[in-house]
Amino acid sequence: MRIGIIGATGFTGFELVKILVKHPEFKIAALTSTSLAGTPYSAVYPQLRGIVDNLIESDDYDKCAEKVDAVFLCLPHTASQEAAAFFLSKGKKVADLSADFRLGSKELYEFVYKVPHKKEELFAEAVYGMPEIFGEQLKTARLAAIPGCYPTSVIMPLFPLLKEGLIDGDFIVADSKSGITGAGKTPSEKTHFCNVQENFQAYGVLSHRHNPEINYILGKAGKHVDVIFTPHLAPINKGIESTIYARSHTDIFQLAECLKTFYKGRRFVRILDFGNAAATANVRDTNFIDIALFKKADKLVITSAIDNLVKGASGAAVQTMNIMCGLDETTGLI
Amino acid sequence: MRIGIIGATGFTGFELVKILVKHPEFKIAALTSTSLAGTPYSAVYPQLRGIVDNLIESDDYDKCAEKVDAVFLCLPHTASQEAAAFFLSKGKKVADLSADFRLGSKELYEFVYKVPHKKEELFAEAVYGMPEIFGEQLKTARLAAIPGCYPTSVIMPLFPLLKEGLIDGDFIVADSKSGITGAGKTPSEKTHFCNVQENFQAYGVLSHRHNPEINYILGKAGKHVDVIFTPHLAPINKGIESTIYARSHTDIFQLAECLKTFYKGRRFVRILDFGNAAATANVRDTNFIDIALFKKADKLVITSAIDNLVKGASGAAVQTMNIMCGLDETTGLI
Amino acid sequence: MRIGIIGATGFTGFELVKILVKHPEFKIAALTSTSLAGTPYSAVYPQLRGIVDNLIESDDYDKCAEKVDAVFLCLPHTASQEAAAFFLSKGKKVADLSADFRLGSKELYEFVYKVPHKKEELFAEAVYGMPEIFGEQLKTARLAAIPGCYPTSVIMPLFPLLKEGLIDGDFIVADSKSGITGAGKTPSEKTHFCNVQENFQAYGVLSHRHNPEINYILGKAGKHVDVIFTPHLAPINKGIESTIYARSHTDIFQLAECLKTFYKGRRFVRILDFGNAAATANVRDTNFIDIALFKKADKLVITSAIDNLVKGASGAAVQTMNIMCGLDETTGLI
Amino acid sequence: MRIGIIGATGFTGFELVKILVKHPEFKIAALTSTSLAGTPYSAVYPQLRGIVDNLIESDDYDKCAEKVDAVFLCLPHTASQEAAAFFLSKGKKVADLSADFRLGSKELYEFVYKVPHKKEELFAEAVYGMPEIFGEQLKTARLAAIPGCYPTSVIMPLFPLLKEGLIDGDFIVADSKSGITGAGKTPSEKTHFCNVQENFQAYGVLSHRHNPEINYILGKAGKHVDVIFTPHLAPINKGIESTIYARSHTDIFQLAECLKTFYKGRRFVRILDFGNAAATANVRDTNFIDIALFKKADKLVITSAIDNLVKGASGAAVQTMNIMCGLDETTGLI
């Protein structure tokens, strides 16, 4: 398969490139960028000197379409809409890493993102790129909406438990902490080293756009939920840890069994032995999600950890594309 | 006032020394340590070369008692019991930074700490060293039990709201993140740089000993509560951020007003303007606690931040001792 | 003394504000900024909520001059020239933290900074604000050029040794490492957390503008030197460590004695006991410079450490202004 | 090839395991440890849960020898001597990551390490495991002495230049900065997070044991040199940056050409384009060494960067073993 990465110079593009370099079936055929066209990719990411020295191409989709069989869209939300429609019209498979097709409908998208959606017709076929939950639908999908990083860490532990009705849905808290790559490559006050180092704080409290995504997808487990979600910035490059609180009247062994059964055979989900908490360092640079359960009376605490750029973005995108291309989902991933 | 610091070489002792060096009324008269007696204090903490070169003394309490009017006990729990009793018997004022006198009764202490308490008789007079809540009792106290670091960050935002009955008590979550100084000066796997850097994780989930302390003290607000408390290790030296979740049917303005009224005139409590989250960097090396409120429907999120070694330990201890000595509580503190 | 800080919102302005808040003789009378006028200072630096809530004023020098007796100029180089001339013309004392008056002559300045100097006439009276070396001249100075951060860490250890002819001048290496506050408050690729965390690298190799400053000032010790200077970015907020290499045929005791004699009575210079290397953590938030000597045969290694924003900028500026105002140099400094 | 890792639970053992898991020709057949025998490897390094769950074996060399064709010794110095002799006697190939066979002779070893060497006879056949310099000899070697991490970063840039006589040998400075993994897995004051975070300092000044190793190996380039070497601790997990100073009367193009010619065809050596400094982040988790040259008049500055655990230890070990086993040196390495 010849692969194009549209918007290849951001952090998710970089993570994709690093994965694809070692992928046995996917070959990088085009790396595009609006602002950095003409530059060798390794000049933007000197880690890849001598490995990916390909020149970055402009965002000329026509030209790109000739060279590729599938594309990963690493564009800001809104920009993915036209791009997805174009590449689909050319018969290419599309994995979109933006939020443009995650929310199921024009209405919800516009309510959350406060901008018009111009490709409403594509919602019907877009499949949420979380292979362990929507793998069946992905097998025949042309368009996948890769989940947000925070939602992955919150949805995967909760979905099976909600589906089986093992936890109360009425007061679920997800307290999430993310590394700074989650804030993107563009320098800002928020990402200035001196505002991050020796600091810890919440942001987007009760207003983060991943909150409706979490609720919408968890709703597919069968019941409306209204998770209270708080993201925080942790002074690390990569990783998300989510500590999730709920009430449950089911014992911890049964809860663990539920998760193990649901995720049976899924290489990238690790349910930890009791007593161990999930740690971002243990999933760094991997496509794993680690999930740990703790319980006392009816108080359930779940901790999960992912690499926000791998399982939380580009790893999930490759895993999803593997399925869309008929490969084993683990191909080329650790 | 001549001051002794018993167990002066740990992190809370160091923080006390740094505060006392600038205190206009308290003079360091004795610094003791079991293992480092005979060493200049500045050899242990080279930051203080030329400032505090005093020789560290052995833990000879008799000798120490002759030189001091008041003592800060920076000892492990259990060790403070005899020491407190001794210095009280000599007519000295005692601020104990350990957990030995925080929990109100021998029964609760022994249940939580799993060791016998040998000075049960002192519980009756020990006052919890949180001046903004127990200041009146501290004025006449001889023995103060300085709060744990986590409890300070959780109790101070919740106490007034619970007292006024403005939040539900039945499902309160406190998700706390602490810098590594909280784990103490002794090297361990937990504090090894390579296990902390680029890592984030919970620990002591549903089993941390500060959880009963939080519940016990909040109970004094009038109602039994059972907070779900999870501590995490953040890769920073100093600071605690707590994100607290509860239900409330009171609007945010009234909640803020409640806190502002309760803490009126209290220099070290800052209720932030709406929209700003509490950040550990903003309270680093100060005795402030920053508190921020967020609300949406009945979902209340509170974030608080303290320096775990200052407001969370040694700053609170000096503030407490100021009151016990008839000084303004802010004396010598920022 | 009523003090104005011109350009108060950068990192050196912030550090000055923090020092002046505790200074017994200097009172902040004006804080100015071009872009942030009208904002409370504590909105820019929330650490100072409740402490410095003064509104920031515009850069209206006429208005400012009426309120102040002395000014600190925290402006980019070139901008300080007119400002310094103006405030001097109004009879104010001026401490300039930029590079505009450090290099002794229009010629050298223009060679190094590649821009014209518009106030050549002021070079004659500008004194280099390094009190331990140029203290006598500062007593009667109206205009002080506060040293660059790197030069302070390199010049102070070497000046006495060169003056006494105890080291060879022909191959001196200064390998310096700085925290990120040294790169300023404006977000950039260089200061993006993800480019700094888990990274270490040199920059400005053989081309940094502090190199000519080092050579020029060391030249005043009596002999032309051509130091090979390399700055590096270390993933810390504050601090500079310089490791300095030279040949010397004098024994280490005599070298140490030379430094101790030269800096006798100078509170902020600490010559460490043999065997200890200078560490940035030991001088953080203080006005100290720690200096350590190591020797083997004719190989001399010196390590020095300062807080780049205190002894390397704002602390030195206050120390200098203290002298210019007839105060003890240590007033208000730790 | 069946591979044994003796002393597999330290940081270099862990790095080896991570590399070997993906190696197409080497299969892990035994992981040993004195203290952790019986534990699953993934309990020590939870990153590897589900990937390397092998039980750790005791240090029973006889038993181990039956299962393996080659061994990597990740033991403290002195412990490798007997182990190397034993496995060689059984016809196994040995790559020793300790210092035991690096220094060429019993005399030099004992002078530097202050302990007796018990296997003098093996010095004659031990080859220094730096494939780009000693690759020819490694082809027929049974025993390789893998270089120290610092020496790799200093020797590789200098060796070709010294060999060709393009730099002066009389005053070479190597100022090196290492991540904390270099200090090993055992907790200590030195590796306590709170002593490292927001700190930077030199250690082992003029007394580090890698200094004689650097001099000894560089001596093989044809001329006695006496490098002045200073190691520093940088607050990062992984990486070494060395900034190297020398005099040279050769122009920079010719110096670069010398390095490019010497390292022609060597995948893991990258000579950077002029103007770029070597950065540890660019080589993290790879087997590359990045080398950058800067020159002004006769002042030559070289910066190099490696991952201290990969090119500085386990990567070099695998590269070396590849050659010893007749494989391409890049097999299984990035």
pTM: 0.97
> Strand pairing of A299-306 and A289-296?
antiparallel
Task: From C237, C184, A10, A40, select the one nearest D276 (Cα to Cα).
Answer: A40
For chain D, say whether C195 makes contact (Cβ under 8 Å): yes
Please give the radius of gyration of chain B, using alpha carbons only, rounded to the nearest integer.
Answer: 19
Q: Assign C249 to helix, strand or coil.
A: coil
Contacts of B197 in chain D (CB under 8 A): 180, 193, 197, 235-237
Contacts of C191 in chain A (CB under 8 A): 187, 192-194
Torsion, Cα C271 C273 C276 C279, to 10 degrees, reads: -30
For chain D, say whether C173 makes contact (Cβ under 8 Å): yes
Residue B334 has pLDDT above 80, yes or no: no
Query: Residues of chain B with pLDDT > 90: what percent?
Result: 99
Contacts of B207 (CB under 8 A, 6+ apart): A296
For chain C, say whether D228 makes contact (Cβ under 8 Å): yes
Complex-level ipTM? 0.97
Residue B248, strand partner residues: none
Mutate to test the interface with A, among B194, B201, B274 (most CBs of A within 10 A): B201
pLDDT, position A245: 98
The per-residue pLDDT for range C52-105, each reduced to its tens digit, is: 999 999 999 999 999 999 999 999 999 999 999 999 999 999 999 999 999 999
Residue B170 has pLDDT above 90, yes or no: no
Quick one: B2-125 is in which CATH superfamily? NAD(P)-binding Rossmann-like Domain (3.40.50.720)
Neighbours of D116 (CB within 10 A): 11
For chain D, say whether B235 makes contact (Cβ under 8 Å): yes
pLDDT, position C223: 87
Mutate to test the interface with C, among D170, D172, D175, D296 (most CBs of C within 10 A): D175
Contacts of C133 (CB under 8 A, 6+ apart): C155, C156, C159
Is the Cβ pair B235, D193 closer than 8 Å? yes
The per-residue pLDDT for range C114-158, each reduced to its tens digit, is: 999 999 999 999 999 999 999 999 999 999 999 999 999 999 999
pLDDT, position C169: 85
Q: CA-based angle A135:A137:A142, to the nearest 5?
A: 110
CATH class as words, domain A149-308 = alpha beta
The per-residue pLDDT for range C286-314, each reduced to its tens digit, is: 999 999 999 999 999 999 999 999 999 99
A177 sits in the region (left: phi over 0; alpha: psi -120 to 50; else beta) called beta
The per-residue pLDDT for range A232-259, each reduced to its tens digit, is: 999 999 999 999 999 999 999 999 999 9
Question: 242-261 in D: which are within 8 Å (CB) of C?
Answer: 243, 245, 247
Contacts of C277 in chain D (CB under 8 A): 201-203, 205
pLDDT, position D289: 98
Mutate to test the interface with C, among B282, B289, B291 (most CBs of C within 10 A): B282
CA–CA min distance D201, chain B (Å): 13
The per-residue pLDDT for range A39-85, each reduced to its tens digit, is: 999 999 999 999 999 999 999 999 999 999 999 999 999 999 999 99
For chain A, say whether D177 makes contact (Cβ under 8 Å): no
Contacts of C276 in chain B (CB under 8 A): 46
Residue D17, strand partner residues: none
CA distances from B309 to A257, B100, B188, B304, B322 (A): 42, 18, 19, 15, 17
pLDDT, position D223: 86
For chain C, say whether B275 makes contact (Cβ under 8 Å): no
Is the Cβ pair C193, A193 closer than 8 Å? yes
Query: Residues of chain A with pLDDT > 70: what percent?
Result: 100
Q: Percentages helix, strand, coil for chain C, rounded to the nearest 5?
A: 35, 20, 45
* Active-site residue, selected from the candidate residues D149, D194, D258, D325: D149
Q: pLDDT band for C259, please (50, 70, 90 cuts).
A: very high
Is the Cβ pair D236, B188 closer than 8 Å? no
E-assigned strands of B7-78?
Answer: 27-32, 70-73
Residues of chain D with CATH 3.30.360.10: 149-308
CA–CA min distance D214, chain C (Å): 17
CA–CA min distance A154, chain B (Å): 15
pLDDT, position B193: 98
Question: Closest chain B residue to C235 measured between Cα atoms?
Answer: B197
A180 vs C11, C185, C193: nearest CB: C193
Q: Contact at 8 Å (CB) between D2 and D69?
A: yes
User: Two tokens at C92?
Assistant: 């104010």
CA–CA min distance C132, chain B (Å): 17
Residue B7 has pLDDT above 80, yes or no: yes
For chain D, say whether B237 makes contact (Cβ under 8 Å): yes
The per-residue pLDDT for range A254-310, each reduced to its tens digit, is: 999 999 999 999 999 999 999 999 999 999 999 999 999 999 999 999 999 999 999
Amino acid at C131: P
For chain A, say whether B51 makes contact (Cβ under 8 Å): no
CA distances from D135 to B100, D144, D162 (A): 65, 11, 18
For chain A, say whether D311 makes contact (Cβ under 8 Å): no
Question: Closest chain D residue to B237 measured between Cα atoms?
Answer: D194
Neighbours of D174 (CB within 10 A): 28
Measured in residues, chain A has a length of 334
The per-residue pLDDT for range B26-70, each reduced to its tens digit, is: 999 999 999 999 999 999 999 999 999 999 999 999 999 999 999
Backbone φ and ψ of B143, nearest 5°: -130, 125
pLDDT, position C176: 98
Mutate to test the interface with B, among C49, C270, C286 (most CBs of B within 10 A): C49
Q: Is residue A64 annotated as a catalytic residue, yes or no?
A: no
CA distances from D126 to C283, D16, D77, D122, D329 (A): 46, 21, 15, 6, 18
pLDDT, position C190: 97
Q: Contact at 8 Å (CB) between A242 and A253?
A: no
Is the Cβ pair B192, D192 closer than 8 Å? yes
pLDDT, position C257: 98
Per-residue pLDDT of chain D (334 residues; tens, 9 = 90+): 999 999 999 999 999 999 999 999 999 999 999 999 999 999 999 999 999 999 999 999 999 999 999 999 999 999 999 999 999 999 999 999 999 999 999 999 999 999 999 999 999 999 999 999 999 999 999 999 999 999 999 999 999 999 999 999 889 999 999 999 999 999 999 999 999 999 999 999 999 999 999 999 999 998 899 999 999 999 999 999 999 999 999 999 999 999 999 999 999 999 999 999 999 999 999 999 999 999 999 999 999 999 999 999 999 999 999 999 999 999 999 7
For chain D, say whether C171 makes contact (Cβ under 8 Å): yes
Amino acid at A176: S
Distance CA C84, CA A290 (A): 60
Distance CA C128, CA C140 (A): 12
Give chain C's mean pLDDT: 97
Task: From C264, C258, C230, select the one nearest C244 (Cα to Cα).
Answer: C230
Contacts of C283 (CB under 8 A, 6+ apart): B47, C239, C289, C290, C305, C306, C307, C310, C311
Q: Assign D43 to helix, strand or coil.
A: helix
CA–CA min distance D142, chain A (Å): 32
For chain D, say whether A285 makes contact (Cβ under 8 Å): yes
D205 vs C207, C236, C303: nearest CB: C303
Is the Cβ pair B286, C49 closer than 8 Å? no
Residue A334 has pLDDT above 80, yes or no: no
Is the Cβ pair B205, A281 closer than 8 Å? no
Q: Contact at 8 Å (CB) between C210 and C148?
A: yes
Contacts of B258 (CB under 8 A, 6+ apart): B160, B161, B164, B166
CATH 3.10.560.10 fits C149-307, yes or no: no
pLDDT, position A169: 85
Distance CA B60, CA B71 (A): 13
For chain C, say whether B285 makes contact (Cβ under 8 Å): yes
A191 vs C193, C236, C237: nearest CB: C193
Residues of chain A with CATH 3.40.50.720: 2-125
Give chain B's mean pLDDT: 97
Question: 85-104 in D: which are within 8 Å (CB) of C?
Answer: none
Contacts of D15 (CB under 8 A, 6+ apart): D309, D310, D313, D314, D315
The mean-pLDDT minimum among B316-320, C202-206, C208-212, C222-226 falls in C222-226
User: Two tokens at C168?
Assistant: 């060879």
Mean pLDDT of C43-50: 97
For chain B, say whether C281 makes contact (Cβ under 8 Å): yes
User: DSSP state, B57?
Assistant: B
pLDDT, position D334: 76
> Strand pairing of B240-247 and B299-306?
antiparallel
Catalytic residues of B: 149
Backbone φ and ψ of A92, nearest 5°: -95, 150
CA–CA min distance C154, chain B (Å): 20
Amino acid at C4: G
* Active-site residue, selected from the candidate residues A74, A149, A258, A325: A149
Give chain D's mean pLDDT: 97
CA–CA min distance A45, chain C (Å): 11
pLDDT, position C234: 98
Q: Contact at 8 Å (CB) between C28 and C13?
A: no
